[in-house]
């Protein structure tokens, strides 16, 4: 067993670490790779969008914090790229029974875990959403919901089991180093368990307040479908973010803004009920409100503030 294999316990998250090892140009090439993944996210989102709904992209492409995340937050961008792919596959699989989309969603969730361990929480969100949506679309068919969950969960469970075995075999440590990012303190609870929970809840509500379009989509879908199941399904990502913050995963206001906006745009582009002219006007107002709010009360982080200062240092 060579000394290099003993370092596997520090190889979190796996995909960004692999890219950093393969790309010889250091920070510059990693930033370019992050931009390429961001372009992939936009390509995935715009594939189904129409001209009348392109306003939904404004809170993504016109906010400075998103320029920072697109070029600097490689692990988050990779994870959200695969989560966007997984969400589109999940919608087709859960709603239309498209088996190919289900396998694609499961594989994309596994890839997202390799970029960000907290993707496991969002895999759980999708699995929990299946019974809520299935109870409306296919009442009286719980076996179908169980099979959908199995298809979604198996790739993630397999990759976690394989990685756990590699860690145990070559390092003797499991689960390895959990300090995979400077702001990650997984299961450490530095402020205490209950104070940490309160901080996670307040931070999540603050992040949600930045995401006007996500709130509008959740309300409109729930009202349009006349079923609380859809509303509960859109509430699950909020609970997952609060849980991720409480457990100490690497999330901040910029990443949360990107995640909620991606979810909102995906629902807008894939939900046929959003095509009604009256709903498009309401969503346009929500997108404009979120864009204005992003300039008046911008989502921020320590990294974004340093990047913004360096970007315009020449002007001072």
* 144 vs 189, higher pLDDT: 189
d(CA 182, CA 186): 11
- Taking the domains of the chain in order of start, what are their residue ranges? 8-300
pLDDT at 180: 66
Name which of 62-66, 105-109, 141-145, 309-313 the model is least confident about.
141-145
Q: Given a cut of 50, is residue 1 above it in pLDDT?
A: no
Cis peptide before 50 (omega within 30 of 0): no
State the pTM of this model: 0.85
Q: Given a cut of 80, is residue 98 above it in pLDDT?
A: no
Q: How far is CA 194 from CA 155, 179, 184, 256, in A?
A: 33, 21, 18, 22
Q: Which residue has the tokens 């960000």?
A: 116
Most confident of 113-117, 169-173, 203-207, 250-254: 203-207
Q: Mean pLDDT over residues 154-175, rounded?
A: 83
* 201 vs 42, higher pLDDT: 201
Q: Are 59 and 259 in contact (CB under 8 A)?
A: no
Q: Mean pLDDT over residues 30-47, rounded?
A: 85
* Tokens linked to 316: 């001072």
pLDDT at 4: 55
What does pLDDT average to over the chain? 81
pLDDT digits (tens, 9 = 90+) for 23-33: 876 788 888 88
Q: Mean pLDDT over residues 146-156, rounded?
A: 83
């Amino acid at each position: 067993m060579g000394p290099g294999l003993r370092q596997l316990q520090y190889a979190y998250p796996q995909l960004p670490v692999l890219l950093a090892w393969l790309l010889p140009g250091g920070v510059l090439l990693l930033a370019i790779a992050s931009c390429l993944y961001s372009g992939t996210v936009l390509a995935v989102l715009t594939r189904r969008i129409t001209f009348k709904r392109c306003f939904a992209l404004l809170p993504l492409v016109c906010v400075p914090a998103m320029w920072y995340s697109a070029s600097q937050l490689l692990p988050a961008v990779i994870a959200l790229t695969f989560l966007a792919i997984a969400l589109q596959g999940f919608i087709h699989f859960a709603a239309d029974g498209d088996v190919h989309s289900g396998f694609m969603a499961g594989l994309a969730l596994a890839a997202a875990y390799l970029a960000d361990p907290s993707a496991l929480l969002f895999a759980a969100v999708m699995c929990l959403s299946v019974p809520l949506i299935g109870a409306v679309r296919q009442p009286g068919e719980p076996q179908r919901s169980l099979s959908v969950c199995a298809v979604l969960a198996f790739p993630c469970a397999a990759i976690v089991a394989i990685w756990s075995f590699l860690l145990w075999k070559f390092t003797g440590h499991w689960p390895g180093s959990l300090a995979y990012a400077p702001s990650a303190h997984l299961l450490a609870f530095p402020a205490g368990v209950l104070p940490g929970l309160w901080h996670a809840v307040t931070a999540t509500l603050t992040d949600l307040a930045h995401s006007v379009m996500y709130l509008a989509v959740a309300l409109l879908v729930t009202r349009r479908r006349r079923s609380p199941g859809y509303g509960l399904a859109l509430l699950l990502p909020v609970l997952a973010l609060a849980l991720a913050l409480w457990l100490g995963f690497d999330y901040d206001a910029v990443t949360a803004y990107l995640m909620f906006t991606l979810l909102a745009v995906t629902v807008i582009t894939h939900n046929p009920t959003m095509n009604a002219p009256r709903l498009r006007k309401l969503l346009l107002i929500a997108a404009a409100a979120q864009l204005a709010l992003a300039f008046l009360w911008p989502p921020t982080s320590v990294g974004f503030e340093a990047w913004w200062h360096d970007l315009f240092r020449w002007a001072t």
